């Protein structure tokens, strides 16, 4: 066990974020590399166990390490390392410090054994990740603002749910539950927002592509996969998740297939792959849950790889629209090769990480004889060939060259991509290294003749179908309207209408008060102004006349008395 | 897979070579024929049909492509739609 909370992996990354602010040059690069590695070692070396504390009368467990936490913690620390290595030349200290705090938040959630600790780290993630988005530049402000609004709403739902759950159960300890009360539904809703579930899924494709070439690597890893982790921990076997996952999966495939911006395409692919994991949590058998854990680990690496590929293209060409890209394979061979490894992994090609992990979830659906989910999940898995597997490399790296001068990115970026690509293949070839870390230890043999043949048939014939309809999916300078239209258009009109209404009401109130005040002023001015009865200057003669008159009247009354 | 550097060749030249097409067709054929010798465990019945993964892979991709086309025809908008 890590000896104390303050030397735990999340706090080490918080310290790293602080140290980054005060270092420059080589020292800064050393900090970027060393702190995530230190966090990785701490997660890896720590024996299972927990640290307890109390706060406001509640028993807290800030650190709770078991097999699932170690797996996710190690993968997150590894992803933080890859992201930091890729971002070694990035000058924005705000982005990198925020990214470290963001990674710390994700590790904090993974290690949290109680709801209060989890919520604190959850919000740390929300704030830090918003800052990472903001560092994308001027055009990122709008997406970052919308991102923050959605995540703070998620945080409010989660907080309300946690408060209700603690009030009803009397304990803050996180356990596996069913959504059978309103606080639990609120908790589920709060987590699902971070998972990219409908209806608030558009934040993924809105905010992630707005971040910088390096920022999106961190963003693509932590928020959605932490949500998968908490779902695994809290809501295994919740049936509604199967269909929510299927909807996410299909949505991601369709929108990615139509997308022009390569980084937004990957964002849609992230939602699609998250859909398979969310459905796996819903299936809820030990094989499905192990599959979700394994696929989360695999997806962290291959998604980071694909985002690094797109980040390299942006870094080297300044472009992300596929209408402006193409034929980069010769100029950027290592990036193109990394892309191929990444897309083979996401498409679950044998000998890659996707093959040994995604199929566990789909096989779990088959084992349970869930025909509908099995067909849908298989189609979603095959659909990865359509959007990422072939369309992305075709439009970015092959075909006519549209960018005149390009080359592979600087060394640190190349090493980060190469490491991620190697990991994708190593996990694919030696899956037992991943399987021994899974919580349920369900025996699973990915490399049977039947499984390999079935997968090769799926992929080969999906590729054939794509080849036949490829003209439908050429890059077009367009976007596809999403559910965020409701808050970016009617929502905006409503907000503007409300703004106009309150502004005119205020104007009327102010002008009304002004009018009354003016009338009062006029009245006072009439009587007390320079020419008013009470205010004007009276001539001396008039005053003498009235004084004489009053004196005469007084004498007359006195004489009569 | 290797692309072409110049912009003159077909954008899908990687698939366009006659030899490559033949090789691809042979590979596809072999993959289907292997179903004759490899036993698959059935869960639903449909997955035991000959060449199931082959026709399902193609059909699923084609169906998703059609759905994407439908979504595109309904919801495609210019890139500057939200620019104010």
Backbone torsions φ then ψ of A150, nearest 5 degrees: -65, -45
- B54–A466 C-beta distance less than 8 A: no
Please state, in angstroms and rounded to a whole number, the distance separating the CA atoms of residues A204 and A212. 14
**Does residue A493 surpass a pLDDT of 60?**
yes
Backbone torsions φ then ψ of A444, nearest 5 degrees: -145, 130
* DSSP designation for A209: G
pLDDT digits (tens, 9 = 90+) for A362-386: 999 999 999 999 999 999 999 998 8
Mean pLDDT in residue range A465-485: 91
Nearest chain A residue to B57, by CA? A458
Looking at the complex, report in whole angstroms how far the Cα of residue B81 sits from the nearest Cα belonging to chain A: 8
- B41–A481 C-beta distance less than 8 A: no
Sequence-ordered list of residues with C-beta below 8 angstroms from that of A396, at least 6 positions apart, any chain: A262, A313, A322, A325, A326, A328, A339
**Considering all CA atoms of chain B, what is the largest pairwise distance in Å, rounded to the nearest integer?**
62
**Which of helix, strand or coil describes residue B75?**
helix
Amino acid B19: pLDDT: 82
**Does residue A520 surpass a pLDDT of 90?**
yes
Q: How does residue B10 score in pLDDT terms, banded at 50, 70 and 90? A: very low
If one counts every other C-beta atom within 10 angstroms of the C-beta of residue A516, the result is: 10
Under 8 Å between Cβ of A88 and A32: yes
* H helices, E strands: number in chain A: 22, 3
Please state, in angstroms and rounded to a whole number, the distance separating the CA atoms of residues A350 and A431. 11
Average pLDDT for chain A: 93
**Does residue B8 surpass a pLDDT of 50?**
no
Amino acid B14: pLDDT: 52
pLDDT digits (tens, 9 = 90+) for A243-276: 999 999 999 999 999 999 999 999 999 999 999 9
Looking at the complex, report in whole angstroms how far the Cα of residue A381 sits from the nearest Cα belonging to chain B: 10
Please state, in angstroms and rounded to a whole number, the distance separating the CA atoms of residues A81 and B45. 46
Strand partners, A49: A65
Please state, in angstroms and rounded to a whole number, the distance separating the CA atoms of residues A279 and A268. 17
- A480–B4 C-beta distance less than 8 A: no
* DSSP designation for A293: H
Q: Which residue has the higher pLDDT, B74 or B49?
A: B74
* Nearest residue to A174 via CA among A164, A162, A183, A182: A162
Amino acid A439: pLDDT: 93
Burial of A360 (0-12, 13-18, 19+ CB in 10 A): buried
Nearest chain A residue to B15, by CA? A467
pLDDT digits (tens, 9 = 90+) for A175-234: 999 999 999 999 999 999 999 999 999 999 999 999 999 999 999 999 999 999 999 999
Amino acid A202: pLDDT: 94
Indicate the angle between helix axes A215-234 and A67-86, nearest 10 degrees.
170
Looking at the complex, report in whole angstroms how far the Cα of residue B50 sits from the nearest Cα belonging to chain A: 11
Sequence-ordered list of residues with C-beta below 8 angstroms from that of A113, at least 6 positions apart, any chain: A50, A60, A61, A62, A63, A64, A173, A174
Give which of B8, B64, B73 to mutate to test A binding, by max A Cβ within 10 Å: B64
Amino acid A519: pLDDT: 94
Under 8 Å between Cβ of A165 and A115: yes
Amino acid A543: pLDDT: 81
- B81–A398 C-beta distance less than 8 A: no
- A371–B44 C-beta distance less than 8 A: yes
Please state, in angstroms and rounded to a whole number, the distance separating the CA atoms of residues A170 and A505. 48
Amino acid A532: pLDDT: 80
Residue keyed to tokens 């924005």: A92
Under 8 Å between Cβ of A173 and A114: yes
Sequence-ordered list of residues with C-beta below 8 angstroms from that of A298, at least 6 positions apart, any chain: A345, A353, A354, A356, A357, A358, A424, A427, A434
- Residues 162-221 on A with a CB inside 8 Å of B are none
* Nearest residue to A260 via CA among A219, A209, A306, A224: A209
Mean pLDDT in residue range B30-48: 88
Handedness of CA A536, A541, A547, A553 (dihedral sign): negative
Amino acid A45: pLDDT: 85
| Cross-chain CB nearest to A472 (options B1, B69, B76) | B69
Residue A481 in contact with partner chain B when CB distance is under 8 A:
yes
| Cross-chain CB nearest to B34 (options A253, A378, A453) | A453
Under 8 Å between Cβ of A116 and A158: no
Q: Which residue has the higher pLDDT, A242 or B48?
A: A242
Ramachandran assignment for A8, one of left (phi > 0), alpha (psi -120 to 50 degrees), beta (any other) = beta
Handedness of CA A335, A425, A461, A197 (dihedral sign): negative
Give the tokens for residue B2. 């290797």
- What pTM value is reported for the model? 0.89
* DSSP designation for A211: S
- Residues 233-262 on A with a CB inside 8 Å of B are 250, 253-255, 257-258, 260
Reported ipTM: 0.85
| Cross-chain CB nearest to A458 (options B6, B53, B77) | B53
Amino acid A334: pLDDT: 96
Backbone torsions φ then ψ of B50, nearest 5 degrees: -65, 130
């Amino acid at each position: 066990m890590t000896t104390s909370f303050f030397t735990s992996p999340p706090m080490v990354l918080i310290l790293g974020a602080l140290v980054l602010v005060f270092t420059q040059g080589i020292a800064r690069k050393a900090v970027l590399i060393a702190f995530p590695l230190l966090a990785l070692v701490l997660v890896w070396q720590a024996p299972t166990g927990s640290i307890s504390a109390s706060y406001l009368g509640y028993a807290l467990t800030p650190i709770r390490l078991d097999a699932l936490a170690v797996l996710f913690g190690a993968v997150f620390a590894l992803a933080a390392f890859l992201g930091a290595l890729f971002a070694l030349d990035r000058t924005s200290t705000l982005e990198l410090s925020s990214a470290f705090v963001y990674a710390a938040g994700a590790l904090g959630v993974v290690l949290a054994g109680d709801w209060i600790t989890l919520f604190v780290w959850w919000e740390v993630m929300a704030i830090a990740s918003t800052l990472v988005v903001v560092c994308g530049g001027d055009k990122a402000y709008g997406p970052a603002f919308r991102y923050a609004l959605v995540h703070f709403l998620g945080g409010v739902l989660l907080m309300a749910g946690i408060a209700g759950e603690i009030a009803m159960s009397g304990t803050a300890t996180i356990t596996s539950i069913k959504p059978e009360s309103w606080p639990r539904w609120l908790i589920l809703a709060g987590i699902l927002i971070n998972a990219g579930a409908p209806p608030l899924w558009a934040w993924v494709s809105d905010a992630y592509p707005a971040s910088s070439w390096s920022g999106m690597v961190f963003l693509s890893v932590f928020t959605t996969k932490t949500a998968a982790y908490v779902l695994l921990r809290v809501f295994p076997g919740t049936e509604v998740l199967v269909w929510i996952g299927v909807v996410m999966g299909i949505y991601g495939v369709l929108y990615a297939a139509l997308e022009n911006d390569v980084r937004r395409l990957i964002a849609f692919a992230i939602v699609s792959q998250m859909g398979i994991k969310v459905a796996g949590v819903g299936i809820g058998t030990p094989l499905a849950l192990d599959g979700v854990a394994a696929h989360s680990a695999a997806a962290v690496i291959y998604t980071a790889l694909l985002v690094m590929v797109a980040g390299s293209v942006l870094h080297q060409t300044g472009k992300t629209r596929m209408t402006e890209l193409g034929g980069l394979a010769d100029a950027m061979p290592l990036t193109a090769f990394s892309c191929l490894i990444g897309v083979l992994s996401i498409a679950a090609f044998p000998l890659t990480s996707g093959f040994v992990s995604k199929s566990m979830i789909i096989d779990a659906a088959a084992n349970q004889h869930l025909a509908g989910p099995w067909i849908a999940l298989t189609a979603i898995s095959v659909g990865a060939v359509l959007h990422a597997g072939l369309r992305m490399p075709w439009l970015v790296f092959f075909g006519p060259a549209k960018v005149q001068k390009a080359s592979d990115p600087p060394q640190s970026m190349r090493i980060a991509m190469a490491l991620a690509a190697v990991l994708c293949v190593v996990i694919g070839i030696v899956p037992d290294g991943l399987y021994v870390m899974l919580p349920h230890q369900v025996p699973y043999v990915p490399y049977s003749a039947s499984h390999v043949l079935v997968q090769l048939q799926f992929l080969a014939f999906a590729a054939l179908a794509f080849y036949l309809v490829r003209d439908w999916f050429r890059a077009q300078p367009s976007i596809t309207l999403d559910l965020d239209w409701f808050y970016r258009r009617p929502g905006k009109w409503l907000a503007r209408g409300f703004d106009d209404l309150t502004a005119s009401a205020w104007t009327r109130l102010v002008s009304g008060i002004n009018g009354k005040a003016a009338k009062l002023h006029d009245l006072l001015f009439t009587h007390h102004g320079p020419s008013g009865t009470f205010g004007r200057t009276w001539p001396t003669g008039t005053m003498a006349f009235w004084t004489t008159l009053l004196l005469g009247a007084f004498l007359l009354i006195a004489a009569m008395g | 897979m290797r692309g072409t550097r110049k912009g003159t060749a077909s954008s899908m030249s990687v698939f366009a070579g006659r030899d490559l097409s033949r090789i691809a067709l042979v590979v596809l054929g072999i993959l289907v024929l292997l179903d004759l010798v490899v036993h698959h465990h059935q869960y639903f019945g449909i997955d035991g049909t000959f060449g199931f993964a082959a026709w399902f892979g193609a059909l699923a991709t084609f169906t998703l492509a059609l759905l994407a086309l439908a979504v595109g025809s309904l919801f495609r908008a210019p890139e500057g739609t939200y620019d104010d």
